[in-house]
Amino acid sequence: MDSNAEKELEKHIQNQVSWDALPLHAKSILENSQTKWKQYVIKFSIKHQLRWKTNLVRKFVSDERLYYQEIVRSSVSKLVLYPYHIIDKLVGLLNVTPFKYYLVMMTETMANSKSYDELPNFTAVDCLRMLGVGRNQYIDMMNKCRTKGFLFKKKKDVIKSLLPSRTMEKSIEYWWILNAGLHIAEEERGCSQEELDILSELRVSPKQAGIFDRESVLSLLARGLIFIDVPIANSDFISVPPLEGFVMNRVSGDYFENLLYKIFVSIDERTNIQNLAELIQVDEELVKQAASLYCRLGFAKKKNLEPLVNNDDQTDSVLIKTKWNQSWIDYNASISSNSNSGVITQQQQQQQSQQQSQQESNISEESTLDVKPILRIGLIFDSSIIAFLMMGNLGYGLKNHAVTMFEVGKLANEALDDFLGELAKIDIGEFVDGEARRYATSAVALRDTIRFLRYNEKIPATMAGLDLLSCERMNSLEEATRQRVLLKNYAMLISMSPFATDSCPVISVTPAHFGPAIYEAASIWFKLYVYSIVGTGPNSILLPKGSRLKKIPNVFRDCEKLRICSLDHESMNINLSQLLPTVNEALLSSPVLVQAFSYVKFDSSTTKQSRHASREQTIREQLSIIDVPFPLDPLPETTSNSSDSSANYVITGEYTSENMHLHPDVRRIDNIFDLSHSIGYISMLRKEVHVPTENCYRTTWIPYNIYFGIPIFDASLNQRVFEKIERYQLLSESNIAQHNHCSRVLSINLLRFISSTCPPVHPDLDVIDQNKINTTLPSVQNLPLPTQNISFVNGSLEF
């Protein structure tokens, strides 16, 4: 059954369509079998943990208790999160509290000698919160079990003796709702009178936790006599600060887990739950379930906290017990004019409610006015930056931010002050040459980039704030959803550069994007396109996937070093002697672009670098690449009056980073691709050619690539790009319009070039109007693959 068929059936289940009312097409999917419809409904309902009473499954499963038992069994076996949205049924009918649920899960996991890494991320976090069992504790308990040497049937008893007998849950907010659980006489006999009084009140109706004594609440929770509900309303605003205590294990692909990550990258504290659900087109109840879970796990905070209220109409005031945690006391002090008394009067509650209603009314009124919103800048990063922050030993304080960037996929403007504070502690001088220093340099360049985009007075006033966005997380959203999220929140997007080979840039026309205009513009296709248009570049051969290289091509026989580029691995530098085995292995999974990089016999660059050391920074250090930021500065006034002055202007002496912008090929690239409105840099490669008649090496410079975005790997180039942005006002509204047009023209020409070398990538490409810059180009995230050898040799492109 394909995904479209599944979606159709799921829609009918959600709409509670009976078999008789099911459309003929849906019945044909099920082979006209009512039994298969019943099985599908039950399977879907259990997988999605649907409530029995309000869903179609009740027509096929008459025993409500049996249905919830199957949900628990299935959920435990699949290691998914506790179904908090039906906690009232699981506790009320089955006495399955979150603690008991995870106790069974952990026991089964350890009894089967599974690795701790098999627990999905969110499940591992909740296990740690409930049982106090993290990675280290799990490994320690497994070692103790192995030393016992018991038979399997006794192994579970040993495991249970090592696990806690009471829940470790301690963090409770004042606004969370307490509910009475199942009556357990044995547990109630050990309760104090105050605890019994709390139980009596809760059996009448659920109440906010803040009106009770904290220690009594925790005691009742540990005994399993009460359970907690974290209420989220449509009007609530949720913020996600840097994650603390997140367990990075694995992603299971469970539907609810996918939803959690989808909401993670989409949520912001300026959008309430109802608007967020509309934005990402997800049912409001599912969004509230996700937000409730974030708050429960401590990963999110509710911004519009309601006053502490008493549900007892006969009580005129609410007394906050002095034993409760400090956060509740602080809250009481902030909203009460008489903080010493610890009492909120009914009049004060009414005033607070009126103020809150007025604020919500103002927000609603502002949203309906035709006022241009204050949007942010989105800085797009890829996973390599996260690796720098996590693996570079740059400071413990950066770990939480790196985890947030990876898991949430976003670091919001509200968290950047703390992030910048941690980045400011990095001292590059403390790191010796090597990977650690590269990590530190990239982190400092990231810090400078954030400061520049966030505090620069020349950036238009319509942009307020900066969010860091993960290209991987943003691209995981459906295209339409991604565009809605970007359009709502951002005035423009700017990508870091270059991206890792296995990362795809975020494609956007509105808001404008200073980065690769389409996916193909950050691929091996783009290099060949640049060489073919400019008429010069390193000798290169693009080999299709599945082909075999039987001998060293003649064009590479004089090379000392070659550059190997594929679609699924980082590029690498290799010796000529390693060409055949390296390329043939890579061709098994990807097309490969082989390029001449060095003819210098004394070049001592290493054979293969690590993932991050092998990126363009290594090329620059060892193969002499000079980067030229654009837009280019004008030529000196002394240049020729010829119409093609850039071609006639020649410098004396060697080209360096100071005068490379005068190189004829650099000026030609700028003219052809109209880079005067874009952000990025041109990379020029040194080519040492041996001249036999003179018995020496002659140095020439040829184009290597064009990169769009802000470089993070090189601090000096990073600053020079900033100067270009300021000098030429690249972030102004007038320049953005010009940039969009130039990007579109480049994209269309690139797509036509790719179509000319292999089967048409986009059959309708010829009818695309270049003037319509606000429509999405038909770029594809799965890049087209070459079907034949394509070579660029001695300035000529050949098929």
Dump pLDDT digits (tens) for 159-168: 888 899 899 9
Asked whether the beta carbons of 752 and 765 are under 8 A apart, the reply is yes
Tracing tokens 């006002």 back to the chain, one arrives at 729
Handedness of CA 351, 352, 355, 360 (dihedral sign): negative
| CA dist., res. 731 & res. 716, Å (int) | 21
Average pLDDT rounded to a whole number, residues 328-349: 42
CA 688, distance to chain mean position in Å, is: 42
* Sequential DSSP letters for 548-572: ---S--GGGTT-SEEEEEESSS--E
Q: Per residue in 308-333, pLDDT tens?
A: 665 444 333 344 443 455 555 554 44
**Could you give phi then psi for residue 344, rounded to 5 degrees?**
-105, 120
What beta strand segments (E) does 617-734 contain? Answer: 625-630, 680-691, 696-708, 710-711
**What is the pLDDT, as a whole number, of residue 691?**
72
Domain count, the chain: 4
> Does residue 349 have a pLDDT over 80?
no
Average pLDDT rounded to a whole number, residues 613-629: 61
In sequence order, the 6+-apart residues with CB closer than 8 A to the CB of 346 are 316, 317
Asked whether the beta carbons of 477 and 500 are under 8 A apart, the reply is no
Domain span holding position 467: 375-521
Percent of the chain residues past pLDDT 90, beyond the cut: 49
Q: 654 in a domain, yes or no?
A: yes
Q: 36 in a domain, yes or no?
A: yes
Q: 545 in a domain, yes or no?
A: yes
Asked whether the beta carbons of 62 and 68 are under 8 A apart, the reply is no
Q: For residue 574, give the H/E element and its range.
A: strand 572-575
Tracing tokens 């919830």 back to the chain, one arrives at 68
Same domain, 450 and 337: no
| CA dist., res. 469 & res. 380, Å (int) | 5
**What is the pLDDT, as a whole number, of residue 300?**
92
Name the more confident of 409 and 338. 409
Average pLDDT rounded to a whole number, residues 606-626: 49
Q: 168 in a domain, yes or no?
A: no
* Sequential DSSP letters for 245-292: S----B----HHHHHHHHHHHH--TTSBHHHHHHHHT--HHHHHHHHH
Give me the half-sphere count of Cα atoms (radius 13 Å) on the Cβ side of residue 73.
7
> Does residue 592 have a pLDDT over 70?
yes
> Does residue 642 have a pLDDT over 70?
no
- Tallying the residues shown for the chain, one arrives at 799
Same domain, 316 and 272: yes
| CA dist., res. 37 & res. 10, Å (int) | 11
Q: Per residue in 72-115, pLDDT tens?
A: 999 999 999 999 999 999 999 999 999 999 999 999 999 888 99
Last residue of a domain, one of 348, 368, 388: 368
According to DSSP, the residues that pair with 496 across neighbouring strands are 710
Same domain, 302 and 410: no
Average pLDDT rounded to a whole number, residues 523-550: 93
Same domain, 323 and 351: yes
Tracing tokens 């690139």 back to the chain, one arrives at 750
Average pLDDT rounded to a whole number, residues 399-421: 91
**What is the pLDDT, as a whole number, of residue 358?**
46
> Does residue 469 have a pLDDT over 70?
yes
- Name the nearest CA neighbour of 244 among 68, 400, 128, 133: 400
- Name the nearest CA neighbour of 524 among 542, 508, 538, 537: 542
3-class DSSP state for residue 30?
Answer: coil
Same domain, 504 and 619: no
Same domain, 220 and 253: yes
| CA dist., res. 84 & res. 260, Å (int) | 14
Same domain, 90 and 157: yes
Average pLDDT rounded to a whole number, residues 141-156: 72
> Does residue 515 have a pLDDT over 80?
yes
pTM for the full predicted model:
0.84
**What is the pLDDT, as a whole number, of residue 355?**
42
- Name the nearest CA neighbour of 382 among 278, 302, 501, 284: 501
Same domain, 593 and 475: no
**What is the pLDDT, as a whole number, of residue 373?**
64
The confidence band for 304, taking pLDDT boundaries of 50, 70 and 90, is: confident
| CA dist., res. 300 & res. 53, Å (int) | 30
Same domain, 593 and 552: yes
> Does residue 427 have a pLDDT over 90?
no
Same domain, 515 and 534: no
Q: Per residue in 206-249, pLDDT tens?
A: 999 988 988 999 999 999 999 999 999 999 999 999 888 888 88
Asked whether the beta carbons of 770 and 740 are under 8 A apart, the reply is no
Last residue of a domain, one of 109, 131, 162: 162
Q: 750 in a domain, yes or no?
A: no
What's the token pair of residue 292? 């409730």
Q: 167 in a domain, yes or no?
A: no
Name the more confident of 342 and 293. 293
Q: 55 in a domain, yes or no?
A: yes
Same domain, 763 and 700: yes
Looking at every residue in the chain, the average pLDDT score rounds to: 82
Last residue of a domain, one of 99, 130, 162: 162
Same domain, 192 and 334: yes
> Does residue 792 have a pLDDT over 70?
yes
Asked whether the beta carbons of 29 and 9 are under 8 A apart, the reply is yes
| CA dist., res. 740 & res. 511, Å (int) | 10
Tracing tokens 């606000």 back to the chain, one arrives at 774
**What is the pLDDT, as a whole number, of residue 392?**
55
Average pLDDT rounded to a whole number, residues 579-583: 93
| CA dist., res. 599 & res. 326, Å (int) | 70
Pairing of strands 512-514, 490-497: parallel
Asked whether the beta carbons of 152 and 111 are under 8 A apart, the reply is yes
- Name the nearest CA neighbour of 417 among 399, 401, 440: 401
Task: Determine which of 230-239, 380-389, 610-619 has the lowest per-residue pLDDT on average.
Answer: 610-619
Q: Per residue in 713-772, pLDDT tens?
A: 888 999 999 999 999 999 988 899 899 999 989 988 998 898 888 766 555 555 555 555
> Does residue 386 have a pLDDT over 60?
yes
> Does residue 441 have a pLDDT over 50?
yes
**What is the pLDDT, as a whole number, of residue 591?**
92
Percent of the chain residues past pLDDT 70, beyond the cut: 81
> Does residue 620 have a pLDDT over 50?
no
Q: 172 in a domain, yes or no?
A: no
- Look up residue 52 and give its DSSP letter: S
**What is the pLDDT, as a whole number, of residue 593?**
94
